[in-house]
């Protein structure tokens, strides 16, 4: 048994996140606390959490994470490189967390390639100048001066017509295909930690870091500063083009007090001490990165290093470095209470190797983790250096660590072009968790993970949002755990199930390689799968699947009925089965096109003679009726017994026939407030009437009255009747049939 097999199974449980504020002798401070450890990467804000856990009292101060976020269009340039310097000496030597303690200075050098023809023509500017827009909200970033090349430029940001989160650099003309250096000298000046957990986060030593069940409080052993950017927070700590599609090479230099360590993307190239007690850490990254995937953390960190030997070339390896507080380097058992950094991260090398075999070689020059607390998410896939919530060091989230690792392929190497397509990042990484279980436990463990995602999806009140984010203006909507994560993961499971490993994995490798170190859309993803499928016959086109599962809402709801027709050839038994989808609602597809397995069972008391046969119906219509010849008459039929579809199912029923009419009602009994389903099968078109009658023979409700088509008809009605016994009466040209029902609590 491998070490990963001994990891406890802590997936699928939707964690309860409580955000609190804390007041101490230093004054009132803003912070983010967790009263239960996050088992997922999941990023969630207060309003969304309150909607899902209304029984939990949430305390907060000036919490506004659901405020409108601003997406940025193409601006006519590409940033080719960021060379960033930040001096964090002041924040890391002060005692407080707020006000002047948060001030630091920075220099952002951006190498910019001009994509459109200048000059720009805007009011009040001469046509010999260029105006470039960058992101930096005024309440966080003060622009001190700017240079275009060696010439000093001007800054415009107070015009009422300008966006409040950006500024404009005005200066010499940049012509089409010009490349120049834009240098921005700036001062970070936000007054406090942002309540949505993004931007520049600063916490003092000894402050409360987390509250757990059983009054197990955790306090910070060292002063800590870090950045968190997804989705629109990079602009809060550095001037940049804060969009996921504009990737650039990066060098990050950070000055901190001697004795502290600054951690960033890529490889640590240099450490330079100065005579004023500071030390500058210089990090270089060899591959393009989106601004939201750039990150810096600084504290009194310890570290240890291991190596991943490449699957493609075992003679080559990359360093994996983990940064953490020394107090967490223990030999204590992982019991969801003790911190043990080495035990928690021991899956890293093997997990990278497993993903490399599935999706191609690990794409970067290094990898590692940096541990922080408080942290509003479970983990964040910063390129080459994932930020991890300290709570995960208690051993409860091995799958979460795997989630951040697979993001290095899907999310980092190829990034969603806009937040509308965030499922390409998070849905893939969620399915990556299931693949991690499969890597050591086989397909059975993959399904254990998928069942957890199913439960979380159906437990959510926000699951009817489409996977494609129609209006990505709040963190709650973008990171809807039910749809972006759980349903997104189930879409990958469906792709693999419908098309098979021979298409799914080659398509995933082609996707990540075609858009390597760039960005992609759902349309790009669909095109790649279509190319790999080619002329092969498949049950449903990938275009149709994406339209229904990504752009549509909800999930299929299956109902089925069956009846015995007659003896078939060679002593077989002929059955007619009607399988129907009965889902309805805004943006919910009328039909989800997909193959559905039906399991026919005949049980034996001693189980030795129990028989089962599986048949598949490809659903291309809302109702599909098929005739099957079976070697036995079944006792029952199960829809999707393997649980391979994200769906709801109503237990199939046998239709008892009378002449040309078949009639059944289920489930029995009917629970108060739940709908009853009535199956009617007609051999010819005719007029029918369905009534609900009480024990006195009085009609209390008419379900349907009118002409009904030949074949299977399914009626679903939320009865809204008092608890008791009723009769459903079907009247047709063949006479009257009655079925007894009970409505119970």
Q: What φ, ψ does residue 267 adopt, rounded to 5°?
A: -115, 135
Intrachain domains 1-65+200-212+304-400 and 70-194+224-299 with the same fold = no
Is the CB of residue 26 less than 8 Å from the CB of residue 471? no
Global pTM value: 0.84
pLDDT for res 713: 78
- DSSP assignment of 3-66 equals TGGGS----S---------EEETTEEE-----SS---S-----HHHHHHH-TTS----SS--TT
Proportion of the chain above pLDDT 90, given as a percent: 64
Q: What is the pLDDT of residues 450-478, one digit of tens each?
A: 999 999 999 999 999 999 999 888 888 99
Residue 23 has pLDDT above 70, yes or no: no
Q: Which of 737, 729, 660 is nearest to 694 (CA)?
A: 729
What pLDDT shows up at residue 733? 84
User: Does the structure show a pLDDT above 50 at 4?
Assistant: no
* Helix axis angle, 522-533 to 488-499, nearest 10°: 10
Question: Residue 153 is encoded by which pair of tokens?
Answer: 């430029």
Q: Which residues of 391-415 are buried (b: 16+ CB within 10 A; e: fewer)?
A: bbbbbbbbbbbbbbbbbbbbbbbbb
Q: Please report the pLDDT score of residue 21 as a whole number.
A: 30
Comparing C-alpha atoms, which of 726, 520, 558, 521 is closest to residue 640? 558
pLDDT of residue 743 exceeding 60, the answer is: yes
Evaluate if residue 60 carries a pLDDT over 50.
no
- Token pair for residue 517? 């170190």
- The CATH class, in words, for 420-551 is mainly alpha
Q: Reply yes or no on whether the pLDDT at 668 is more than 80.
A: no
| 396 pLDDT more than 80 | no
What's 1-65+200-212+304-400's CATH class?
alpha beta
Cα-based distances in Å from 732 to 565, 683, 694: 21, 12, 20
Quote the tokens at residue 26. 């230093």
- Domain ranges within the chain, ordered by starting residue: 1-65+200-212+304-400, 70-194+224-299, 420-551, 555-654, 667-745
Residue 593's nearest CA partner among 541, 658, 660 is 541
70-194+224-299: CATH, from 1.20.1440.130, 1.10.357.10, 3.40.50.280, 2.60.40.1730: 2.60.40.1730
Which residue matches tokens 């099968």? 681
Helix axes 501-514, 522-533, angle to 10 degrees: 130
- What are 521-530's pLDDT values in tens digits? 999 999 999 9
Length in residues, the chain: 745
**pLDDT at position 123 over 60:** no
659 Cβ contact partners less than 8 Å away, ≥ 6 residues apart: 734, 735
pLDDT surpasses 70 at 657 = no
Average pLDDT on 417-436 reads 97
| Lowest pLDDT segment from 165-179, 247-261, 520-534, 545-559 | 165-179
Predicted local confidence at residue 40, as pLDDT: 59
For domain 667-745, say whether CATH 2.60.40.1220 is its number. yes
Q: Quickly state the pLDDT bin for 211 (edges 50, 70, 90).
A: low
**Across all residues in the chain, what is the average pLDDT?**
86
Topology of 555-654 in CATH?
Immunoglobulin-like (2.60.40)
Q: Spell out the residues 6+ positions from residue 141 whose beta carbon is closer than 8 angstroms to its own.
A: 186, 187, 188, 189, 235, 236, 237, 238, 239
């Amino acid at each position: 048994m491998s070490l990963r097999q001994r990891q406890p199974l802590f997936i699928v449980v939707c964690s309860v996140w409580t955000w609190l504020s804390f007041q101490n002798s230093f004054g009132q401070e803003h912070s983010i606390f967790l009263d239960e450890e996050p088992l997922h990467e999941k990023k969630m804000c207060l309003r969304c959490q309150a909607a899902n856990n209304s029984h939990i009292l949430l305390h907060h101060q000036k919490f506004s994470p659901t405020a409108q976020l601003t997406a940025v269009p193409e601006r006519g340039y590409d940033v080719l490189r960021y060379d960033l310097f930040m001096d964090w000496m002041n924040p890391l030597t002060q005692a407080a967390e707020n006000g002047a303690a948060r001030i630091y200075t920075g220099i952002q050098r951006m190498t910019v390639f001009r994509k459109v023809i200048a000059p720009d023509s805007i009011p009040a500017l001469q046509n010999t100048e260029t105006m470039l827009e960058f992101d930096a909200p005024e309440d966080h970033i003060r622009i001190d001066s700017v240079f275009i090349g060696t010439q000093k430029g001007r800054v415009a940001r107070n015009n009422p017509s300008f966006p409040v989160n950006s500024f404009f650099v005005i200066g010499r003309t940049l012509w089409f295909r010009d490349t120049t250096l834009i240098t921005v000298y700036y001062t970070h000046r936000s007054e406090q930690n942002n309540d949505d957990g993004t931007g520049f986060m600063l916490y003092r030593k000894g402050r409360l870091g987390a509250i757990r069940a059983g009054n197990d409080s955790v306090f910070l052993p060292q002063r800590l500063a870090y950045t968190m950017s997804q989705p629109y927070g990079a602009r809060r700590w550095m001037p940049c083009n804060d969009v996921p599609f504009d990737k650039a090479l990066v060098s990050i230099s950070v000055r901190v007090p001697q004795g502290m360590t600054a951690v960033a993307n890529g490889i640590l190239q240099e450490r330079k001490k100065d005579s004023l007690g500071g030390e500058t850490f210089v990090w270089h990254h060899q591959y393009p990165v989106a601004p939201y995937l750039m990150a810096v953390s600084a504290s009194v960190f310890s570290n240890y290093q291991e190596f991943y030997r490449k699957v493609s070339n075992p003679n080559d390896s990359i360093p994996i470095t983990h940064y953490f507080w020394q107090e967490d380097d223990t030999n204590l058992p992982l019991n969801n209470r003790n911190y043990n950094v080495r035990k928690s991260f021991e899956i890293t090398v093997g997990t990278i190797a497993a993903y490399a075999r599935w999706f191609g070689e690990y794409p970067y020059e290094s990898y590692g983790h940096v541990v922080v607390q408080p942290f509003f998410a479970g983990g964040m896939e910063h390129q080459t250096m994932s930020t991890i919530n300290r709570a995960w060091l208690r051993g409860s989230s091995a799958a979460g660590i795997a989630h951040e690792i697979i993001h290095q392929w899907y999310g980092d190497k190829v990034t969603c072009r806009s937040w509308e397509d965030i499922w390409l990042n998070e849905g893939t990484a969620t399915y990556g968790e299931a693949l991690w279980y499969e890597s050591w436990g086989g397909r059975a463990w993959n399904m254990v993970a998928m069942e957890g995602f199913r439960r979380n999806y159906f437990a959510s009140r926000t699951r009817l949002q489409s996977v494609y984010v129609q209006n990505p203006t709040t963190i709650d909507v973008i990171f809807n755990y039910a749809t972006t994560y759980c349903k997104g993961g189930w879409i990958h499971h469906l792709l693999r199930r419908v098309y098979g490993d021979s298409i799914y994995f080659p398509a995933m490798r082609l996707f990540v390689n075609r858009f390597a170190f760039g960005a992609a859309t759902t349309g790009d993803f669909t095109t790649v799968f279509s190319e790999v499928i080619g002329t092969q016959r498949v049950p449903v086109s990938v275009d149709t699947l994406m339209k229904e599962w990504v752009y549509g809402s909800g999930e299929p709801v299956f109902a089925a009925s069956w009846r015995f027709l007659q003896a078939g050839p060679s002593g077989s038994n002929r059955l007619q089965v009607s399988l129907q989808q009965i889902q309805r609602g805004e943006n919910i597809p009328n039909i989800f096109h997909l193959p559905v397995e039906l399991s026919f069972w005949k049980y034996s008391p001693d189980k030795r003679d129990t028989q089962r046969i599986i048949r598949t119906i490809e659903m291309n219509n809302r109702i599909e009726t098929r005739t099957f010849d079976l070697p036995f008459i079944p006792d029952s039929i199960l829809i999707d017994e393997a649980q391979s579809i994200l769906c709801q199912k109503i237990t199939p029923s046998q239709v008892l026939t009378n002449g040309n009419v078949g009639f059944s009602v289920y489930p029995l009994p009917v629970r108060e407030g739940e709908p009853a389903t009535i199956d009617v099968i007609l051999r010819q078109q005719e007029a029918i009437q369905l009534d609900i009658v009480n024990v006195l023979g009085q009609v209390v409700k008419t379900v349907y009255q009118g002409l009904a088509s030949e074949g299977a008809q399914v009626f679903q009605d939320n009865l809204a009747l008092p608890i008791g016994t009723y009769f459903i009466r079907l009247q047709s040209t063949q006479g009257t049939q009655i079925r007894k029902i009970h409505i119970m609590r």
